[in-house]
């Protein structure tokens, strides 16, 4: 009888430990997800994107949309070509 009781206690203890670990993982996953959602709503990449100025027409545009040529910034390839010609 003593051995049977011992194994019952071991099995119950293992099940309780597995439940505690599963709950802990769920909580840590929730904690990891929440900050990411906050970052997405702010969208730091677009918020911090710098504006640049075309050297031909002076229009301001996001750096990602600008044309870079020989270290100078243009709004389009047409304006880059205009300034590069002698």
CA 77/CA 82 separation, integer angstroms: 9
Nearest CB to Zn ion, comparing residues 40 and 70: 70
Taking CB under 5 A as the criterion, which residues in 59-78 touch Zn ion?
A: 75
Residue 80 near Zn ion by CB under 5 A: no
Q: In this chain, which of 10, 57, 68, 82 binds Zn ion, going by CB under 5 A?
A: 57
Report the alpha-carbon distance of residue 51 to residue 20 in Å, rounded. Answer: 51
**Distant-in-sequence, close-in-space partners of 50: CB < 8 Å, separation ≥ 6:** 62, 63
Q: At CA 59, angle to CA 55 and CA 64, rounded to 5?
A: 85
Q: Which is nearer to Zn ion, 26 or 84 (CB)?
A: 84
Shortest distance in whole angstroms from residue 86 CB to Zn ion: 19
Give the residues lining the site for Zn ion (CB under 5 A). Answer: 54, 56-57, 75, 79
């Amino acid at each position: 009888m003593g051995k049977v009781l011992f194994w019952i206690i071991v099995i119950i203890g293992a099940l309780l430990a597995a439940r505690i670990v599963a709950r802990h993982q769920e909580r840590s996953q929730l904690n990891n997800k929440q900050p990411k959602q906050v970052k997405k709503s702010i969208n730091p990449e677009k918020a911090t994107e710098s504006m640049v100025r075309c050297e031909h027409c002076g229009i301001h545009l996001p750096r990602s949309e600008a044309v870079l040529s020989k270290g100078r910034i243009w709004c389009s390839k047409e304006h880059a070509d205009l300034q590069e010609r002698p």
